[in-house]
Amino acid sequence: MRRRIIGGASVGRSTRPIQARWSHSTSRPERSAGISRPSITTSGHHDVWDFDLPIGPSLVDLPTANGTVPALIQSTKMGEFFVLDRRTGEPLTGVEEMPVPGDGLPGDTLSATQPVSSGMPSLAPSDLKAIDMWGATPIDQLLCRIDFRRLRYDGRFTPPTLGGDISYPAFDGVVDWQGATIDPTRQVLIANASYIPFTVRPMPQDQAIAEGLMEPWAGWDSGQPYPKPAAFAVGPQYGTPYAAVVKPWLGLFQAPCHAPPWGKLVAIDLRSRQILWQRPLGTTRDTGPFGTHVNLPLPTGVFNIGGNTATASGLIFIGATTDQYLRAFDERTGEKLWEARLPAGGQATPMTYMGDDGRQYVVIAAGGHGGLRTCLGDYLVAYALPDAGRSG
């Protein structure tokens, strides 16, 4: 088995050597005489941000000066793309160690560096500045600036800190479990990304219990049922000395504290390793102030969870957004060609297939998402072009 560590998650506790070597990595089984033999390339990374790898890599054969190379591309929550030779695990594009901030929670030991992909376009956001603060009103913007001054923020690898901090990207990342889609014929990678900072308020567990945020629990071996925390935002972190309250960083009227776009669809040319185009993805429909659902579809781009699918004809289909649409884009230009409103949130990856009638269909599971507050449902919705042989 050959692994290259490009991520790593444990907060407020020591990391066992086997975790430091193996957690959050991309691996390939390597068998000899029916036995899996580990051959490991590793960098020590102690992940305290929940920057795990929730999606497997995409496989593609890439042309190089030395011929075609069987490669894999691993997306990460940070918005990075690591390109590895899938035979050896060695990087085909640059990987650098980036110095990162220290001084996290008492008792925690942080890695001095984290790996970043230097040979591919990065979708990671620029570091926030006070001038970037945004709001639906001037009051919103002022309160967000006060938050920015009050909370710790030292860039994208700011560790959790007593007193509170801003996490950007956050635990659900720029690119979450959906990963990226690759068109192997055109050698194009398509990814949808989200840009919403979160605030993190760590505290000792005794304090969290005293505040009524969580209950004591002795673990699964105790036979006690898992005690549900007081709110979705509360992370009890049982087994560590700490708990944390993690929330999207929003202003008074529930708009994000930094300027849009808050969601993008991006196409990257794998030959030139350049961004071909990028555009905001989604509108503010159904995301009004104080959790209201209003029909005010501003084209800001929005938070999105769910993958995209590319077709041989050069179309990209994607749901994912909070405004509950399934959309089709031109892979060459990024132009939106079609959209249809779904009966519930399309936080899933669409798929395409050929029907018995000879037509190509696109289908998506529209089940909604509690965290995004999209409408819940249990729908499977399919679309196809009209049958040219039928009238009407």
Alpha helices, DSSP H, located in the chain: 17-22, 138-150, 205-210
Do 77 and 51 meet the contact criterion of CB atoms below 8 Å apart?
yes
From first CA to last CA, the distance across the chain in angstroms is 58
Alpha helices, DSSP H, located in 169-316: 205-210
Q: How far apart are CA 7 and CA 20, in angstroms?
A: 10
Residue 148 — φ and ψ, nearest 5°? -60, -40
147 catalytic per annotation? no
Structure token digits, residue 174: 């720029």
Structure token digits, residue 19: 């975790």
Q: How far apart are CA 341 and CA 196, in angstroms?
A: 24
Do 133 and 124 meet the contact criterion of CB atoms below 8 Å apart?
no
Helix (H) or strand (E) holding 127: none
- The residue from 47, 50, 172, 176 that is catalytic is 50
Q: How far apart are CA 163 and CA 261, in angstroms?
A: 29
Q: How far apart are CA 102 and CA 99, in angstroms?
A: 9
Cross-strand bridge partners of residue 67: 64
What residues act catalytically?
A: 50
